[in-house]
Amino acid sequence: MDLLLDINGLSVFFGGVQALTKFSIQISRGDIIGLIGPNGAGKTTAFNATTGRIRPSEGSVFFCGQKITGWSPPRIARSGIARTFQNIKLYEDLSVIENVMIAAHSSVSYSFIEAILGVGRYSRDETRIKSRAYELLELMNLGEVASEQASSLPYGSQRKLEIARALALDPKLLLLDEPVAGMNPTETREFGEFLLTLRDNLPIGVGLIDHDMSFVMEVCDMIRVLDHGIPIAWGTPSAIRNNPEVISAYLGTDFNGTTVKHAKN
């Protein structure tokens, strides 16, 4: 086992409201771990506390054996955790490929002068970054729209662009917040297959939040369930699907484990 992320006892308060209570999760290389729960359960808060956007009031986050609790979001990103957002965050006025290149730039360093003059390492890096960005776009089936404006893409493609951008950071861990929201069923199925291929071909781990239960159950090895900020279950897709506490937490919402075509475990 090659442990990447090790979160123990993480709690988050917003004012007097406890959004997350003693949350723990481990993600190793090769894992695809799901984080599910009804609206407001604290899923995004867990990602925000992991990536430094929110300070937890207790608990620890270790990444590759190093304690990263309290680190800034850019420092955490540089250490190898890339994420996407529930509310897509793209540079809307820039082209598709520029969005990916900007992310890649943040992982290389050269002097201001080199950048201004377009010389030395900058120009070499620029060529390398551009071809790498194209590769990532091709991987996400976005090669043909590389020069279009990011905001002109349909919603599902914008999600894929966010993932291409996250991959440009060469992450060890990818955290995806509702990656298939806004995708149609075909795009969702293709994305699930893509994720499994990615995991099989790159030395990375994946944590993902989603409300599309058949997608989550199909791609995840293990699933953590939150309800009102409290971890209520941890198990394989089939165990989670049949867990009475999980079913009851989802009563009245769209949890429907019975529509799952097949689970990995």
Ligand X SMILES: Nc1ncnc2c1ncn2[C@@H]1O[C@H](COP(=O)(O)OP(=O)(O)OP(=O)(O)O)[C@@H](O)[C@H]1O
Q: Which of 7, 27, 31, 37 binds ligand X (CB under 6 A)?
A: 37
Q: Build a one-symbol-per-residue string for 77-106: x at contacts with Mg ion by CB under 5 A, - elsewhere.
A: ---------x--------------------
Binder to Mg ion among 10, 32, 44, 222 (CB under 5 A)?
44
Closest to Mg ion by CB, 43 or 172: 43
User: Which partner, ligand X, Mg ion, none, binds residue 120 by CB below 5 to 8 Å per kind?
Assistant: none
DSSP H or E segment with residue 47:
helix 43-50
Reading the block at residue 244, the tokens are 């009475």
Query: Which of the residues 56 through 95 are near ligand X (CB under 6 A)?
Result: 86
Is the separation of the CB atoms in 129 and 108 below 8 Å?
Answer: yes
Return the number of the residue (41 or 100) whose C-beta is nearest ligand X: 41
Stretch that binds ligand X, among 32-40, 62-70, 88-96, 241-249 (CB under 6 A): 32-40
- Rounded CA-CA distance 61/49 in Å is 9
Q: Which is nearer to ligand X, 40 or 74 (CB)?
A: 40
Listed in order, strand segments (DSSP E) in the chain are 3-14, 17-28, 32-36, 58-63, 66-67, 81-83, 173-177, 205-209, 222-227, 230-235
Contacts of 34 by beta carbon, 8 Å cutoff, 6+ apart: 207, 208, 209, 210, 216, 217, 219, 220, 222, 223, 224, 237
Q: Which is nearer to Mg ion, 54 or 129 (CB)?
A: 54
User: What are the tokens at 36?
Assistant: 């599910």
Q: Which is nearer to ligand X, 43 or 224 (CB)?
A: 43
- In sequence order, the β-bridge partners of residue 145 are none
* Candidate segments 42-50, 101-109, 137-145, 146-154, binder of ligand X by CB under 6 A: 42-50
32 is in the binding site of which of Mg ion, ligand X, none (Cβ under 5 to 8 A by kind)?
Answer: none
When binding is defined by CB under 6 A, the residue of 10, 33, 45, 88 that contacts ligand X is 45
d(CA 203, CA 80): 12
Identify the helix (H) or strand (E) that includes residue 196.
helix 185-201
The residue (of 36 and 96) whose beta carbon lies closer to ligand X is 36
Using CA of residue 233, residue 217, residue 255, residue 38, what is the dihedral sign?
A: positive
Q: Which residues bind ligand X (CB under 6 A)?
A: 14, 19, 37, 39-45, 86
Q: Which residues bind Mg ion (CB under 5 A)?
A: 43-44, 86
